[in-house]
């Protein structure tokens, strides 16, 4: 069995030259034991652009009976750019359905994964993100009887527990001069550094165990 990851920059791989930036899909294999992970997530992609670029078709050529397809999009579907944007209740759910149906066509198991939260704090209070895209994914999971990993709920709980300052260690909040790739530092509430990527990858693996899709791997 192979686990394939479809998604955007929050799940994608990053080269060593961009340390410490990392996506959760990049570290998932470290928690799945002997189950291989193919991370097909790419930065800037929405359900719309991922499909239009033929990236699902490339995965389709490798899917086989017993594989798992993890599907996590929303960040770029919310974009105003026409080549990315989808409507949560129409094109977004229609596109997600294509991923689900493609996996099932090859007897692979589709698993919907809600997006990680944005690390947004306003006047000391955590601010919700992704809105109807979250609701639409939950509805689709019920309608099509698809397992769902609620990464948003987990990331939200973790960010709230750590607080405004403590949660910066999960995301790309970097001091000036700390990393060669980011000499001026960075303050990014969307993308994760290694600590965040590993935390979310660990959670994804725990959920895969709960679903009975993997049995080994680090906890």
Active site positions, annotated: 9, 184, 191
130 dihedral zone (left: phi>0; alpha: psi -120 to 50; beta): left
Question: CA 117, CA 130: separation in Å to the nearest integer?
Answer: 8
Q: How many CB atoms lie within 10 A of CB 59?
A: 22
Q: Two tokens at 109? A: 């198991």
- Please report the DSSP string for 31-79 in residue order: GSTT-EEEE---TT--HHHHHHTTHHHHHHTT--TT-EEEE---TTTT-
């Amino acid at each position: 069995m192979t686990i394939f990851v479809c998604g955007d920059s929050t799940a994608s791989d990053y080269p060593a030259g961009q340390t410490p930036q990392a996506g959760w899909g990049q570290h998932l294999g470290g928690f799945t034991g002997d189950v291989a992970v193919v991370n097909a997530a790419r930065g800037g992609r929405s359900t719309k652009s991922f499909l239009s670029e033929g990236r699902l078709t490339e995965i389709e050529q490798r899917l086989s009976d017993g594989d798992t397809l993890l599907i996590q999009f929303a960040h770029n579907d919310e974009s105003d750019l026409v080549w990315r944007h989808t409507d949560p209740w129409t094109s977004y759910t229609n596109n997600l359905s294509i991923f689900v149906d493609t996996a099932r066509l090859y007897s692979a198991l589709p698993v919907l994964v809600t997006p990680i939260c944005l690390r947004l704090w306003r006047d000391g209070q955590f601010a919700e993100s992704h809105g109807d895209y979250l609701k639409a994914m939950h509805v689709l999971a019920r309608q099509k009887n698809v397992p769902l990993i609620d990464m948003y709920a987990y990331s939200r709980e973790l960010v709230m527990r750590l607080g405004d300052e403590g949660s910066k260690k999960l995301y790309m909040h970097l001091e000036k001069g700390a990393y060669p790739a980011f000499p001026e530092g960075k303050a990014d509430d969307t993308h994760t550094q290694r600590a965040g990527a590993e935390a979310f990858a660990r959670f994804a693996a725990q959920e895969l165990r709960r679903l009975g899709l993997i049995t080994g791997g680090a906890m």
